[in-house]
Chains A and B, each alone.
Chain A
Amino acid sequence: MGHRPRIVELTIPSEYGYEKLAMRLAGSVAEEMGFTPDRVQDLQTAVAEACLNAIEHGNRLEADTQVLILLSIEPDRLAIDVRDEGRGGPPPSEVPEPDIEQQVAGLMPTRRLGMYLIKHLVDEAGFVEPEMGGGNLFRMVIHLQRNRES
């Protein structure tokens, strides 16, 4: 019989700074689950960046929008969903890998680093189709197994 995930929810306004609440919550949960301190910090940065993407691009910083953060806690994994209201349209299908040499040469914008970092900091990351309702749903997963192996 499978374990039913424990769910923790947080809703934040689309304002800079509130991503810190989400990163603190995710960090506390991951710490309680037994993730190592470096993986907790990686997760916190990933969660902050995902929330910033939702605030800036998904909700376009519009005051009447919110970002929902949903943590699904299972014995061996932690999944974090970040959902915006889709005011900025659908997410980009492809995110170019940043190249600092191009950036320093002025040939590539210096922004858009968030998605690249997230993919390097968690075990799984990507947009998924919401089961119901609109908006964009970005899911990140970290596994305790990798913790033990590292």
Chain B
Amino acid sequence: MLNRPLKVHLRRVGDAVIIDLVGDLNHQGETTLKEAYQQATVDNTRRIFFNFERTDYINTSGIAILISIVMEAQKAGQQVGLFGVSPHYQKIFQLVRLPLYANIYTTEQEALASVVQSQ
């Protein structure tokens, strides 16, 4: 009743894949998000960005899912980035030191510009 189940949409932009998230990022989103990540990397994509513009509830189960995706990306030599994260959740991500492994960008443009710069 109170949960907004997570929905995802994948977009390819140049050499990167953007995963747009809509709804809550909690334990119920685990399968959805992990499948989206697998789908994003199916053709050897090295850069994956998660768009949080339409996600206004993230709990620690959701953060744990993100950390497990970062773990996989790290092993596979992929770059993971996040954008559209509210200042409050940026603070939460900083507290768990997620930016050590996933850069946080303000906007999609800024995230995609990082791909161009790093090429």
By a beta-carbon cutoff of 8 Å, the part of chain A in contact with chain B is 16-21, 38, 41-42, 45, 48-49, 52, 98, 100-101, 103-104, 106, 110-111, 113-114, 116-117, 120
Contacting A at CB under 8 A, from B52-110, are: 57, 59-61, 63-64, 67-68, 70-71, 74, 87-88, 91-92, 95-98, 100-101
B98 touches A100 (CB 8 A): yes
Residue contact B60 to A16, C-beta cutoff 8 Å: no
17 contacts between A and B (CB under 8 A): A16-B26, A20-B3, A20-B57, A38-B87, A45-B88, A45-B92, A49-B60, A98-B96, A100-B97, A100-B101, A104-B67, A104-B74, A110-B64, A110-B67, A113-B64, A116-B96, A120-B95
B27 at the binding interface (Cβ < 8 Å): yes
Q: Is the CB of B88 within 8 A of A113?
A: no
- Name the contact of B60 in the complex, choosing from A18, A41, A117 (C-beta under 8 A): A117
Cα A101 to Cα B70 in complex, Å, equals 11
Residue of B nearest to A113 (CB): B60
Q: Which residues of B contact A (CB under 8 A)?
A: 1-3, 26-28, 57, 59-61, 63-64, 67-68, 70-71, 74, 87-88, 91-92, 95-98, 100-101
Taking the nearest CB of chain A, how far is it from the CB of B27, in angstroms? 7
Looking at chain A's contact residues, the main secondary structure is helix
**Residues of B contacting A111 with CB < 8 Å?**
60-61, 64
Report A-chain residues with C-beta under 8 Å of the C-beta of B61.
Answer: 52, 111
User: Are B3 and A17 neighbours in the complex by a CB distance under 8 Å?
Assistant: yes
Residues of B within 8 A of A49 (CB): 59-60
